[in-house]
Amino acid sequence: MKRPTSPKPASASADLRELAECVEKFSGKTIVLLGDFVADEFRYGDISRVSREAPVLILKHRETQVVPGGGANAANNLASLGAKVLPITVVGNDDAGDALIQYFRQKGMSTSGILRAKGRATPTKTRFLAGWAHTVAQQVLRFDYEPQASLPEAIRKKIQQKVSTNLRRADALAISDYGFGVVTPELVRQVTGKLRKSLPIALDARYQLHSYAKSGITCATPNEAELEAEHHTTIGSNAEELARAGRATLASMKLQALLVTRGRHGAALFEAGDRLTHIPVHGSDQAVDVTGAGDTVLAAYIVALACGASPLEAAQIANIAGGLVVMKRGTATVSRQELLDAIRGEISGTAS
């Protein structure tokens, strides 16, 4: 059988118009987001001088920002894209947990699925950024706070109950596993085993992607490094190795589709029937900041599937969203209007 590895055109006018029509439907969809919420803290400082105590910069604190990261960033992207989001997660009884809950309350998002766990730290990634008065600040240090205690069984049962209840009125389920213990393959199997309707279920797992095999997942959105880790290989520019690893994951996990993001190389979509489509990077291949780009891809991909898009159409939409968000600094989101403008801009470009 001949394997179609050449790129399918992502810029044909008819296809792009269908993508725009799909994005316009985003606001009518309800997505359950199950995942590890992370607080992304950015501490900005102006360079004062070099310390006399050690060869390090002394920064004069200017401001501190806390924004949703990890699964919280995926939820934030879903909201920015216009979908109704039902987030389900666990945060600690700490300032970082308070900040995340307050953030989503201010956005009008339901927070009833955000549980609090005593004695558990909210995962927090603190980035210190330094710069002169009129220059762009650069990250000089990152400090991570991670929960040490495992989740109590009572909270695990509450998570399962809330996911099952919310899925009854949802159009899709997005799973964001950053390895902090909120999501487990067993939990997903328990939830999907009780589903009474067929739903798109997309997974973004930082570690042990294959542990979710036979868990009811319909699609996954790993980046190339995560796929390499699963197969103990290096892909780089080796198209044959990419094809081998992608097809192996698709088959072993029994997925309908596998979308592998590849940075400046764009993305690769694996589908049943031995179909492989290479999708060129959208926009510039010189990213400004890739922080949280995978969260944006997950969000755009799952909401497009919820609207009835094919895996290829959803992948093209997610690829465009990813290309937009990496041109922004920090943990960022893409709005539905930005996505529409980008697609319509390509339509105009092909028509001229």
331-351 pLDDT tens trace: 889 999 999 999 998 887 766
What is the model's pLDDT at position 249? 97
Number of domains in the chain: 1
Contact 83, 27 (CB under 8 A): yes
Instruction: At 84, list the tokens.
Output: 């109704």
Identify the segments of the chain with pLDDT beneath 70: 1-14, 350-352
What is the model's pLDDT at position 12? 33
Residue 21 lies in a domain: yes
Contact 259, 246 (CB under 8 A): no
The CATH number for 334's domain is 3.40.1190.20
Residue 212 lies in a domain: yes
What is the model's pLDDT at position 235? 96
Which residue type is seen at 314?
Answer: A
Residue 143 lies in a domain: no
Residue 243: phi and psi, rounded to 5, are: -65, -40
Residue 163 lies in a domain: yes
Contact 282, 320 (CB under 8 A): yes
Q: Cα separation of 83 and 88, whole Å? A: 15
Q: Cα separation of 26 and 300, whole Å? A: 9
What is the model's pLDDT at position 14? 44
Residues spanned by the domain of 256: 13-38+69-121+149-351
Residue 276 lies in a domain: yes
Rounded to two decimals, the pTM is: 0.91
What is the model's pLDDT at position 351? 62
* Biggest distance spanned by C-alpha atoms of the chain: 68
What is the model's pLDDT at position 30? 97
For the chain, where are the E strands, in sequence order? 30-35, 37-50, 57-70, 84-92, 114-117, 124-131, 138-145, 172-177, 201-205, 219-220, 257-261, 267-271, 275-279
Residue 52 lies in a domain: no
Q: Which residues, in sequence order, are CB contacts of 42 under 8 Å at separation 6+?
A: 64, 65, 66, 67, 127, 129, 330
Positions marked active-site: 295
* pLDDT tens digits along 37-51: 999 999 999 999 999
Residue 44 lies in a domain: no
Contact 342, 320 (CB under 8 A): yes
Residue 58 lies in a domain: no
What is the model's pLDDT at position 9? 37
Cα separation of the two ends of the chain: 38
**For residue 299, how many other CB atoms are within 10 A of its CB?**
34
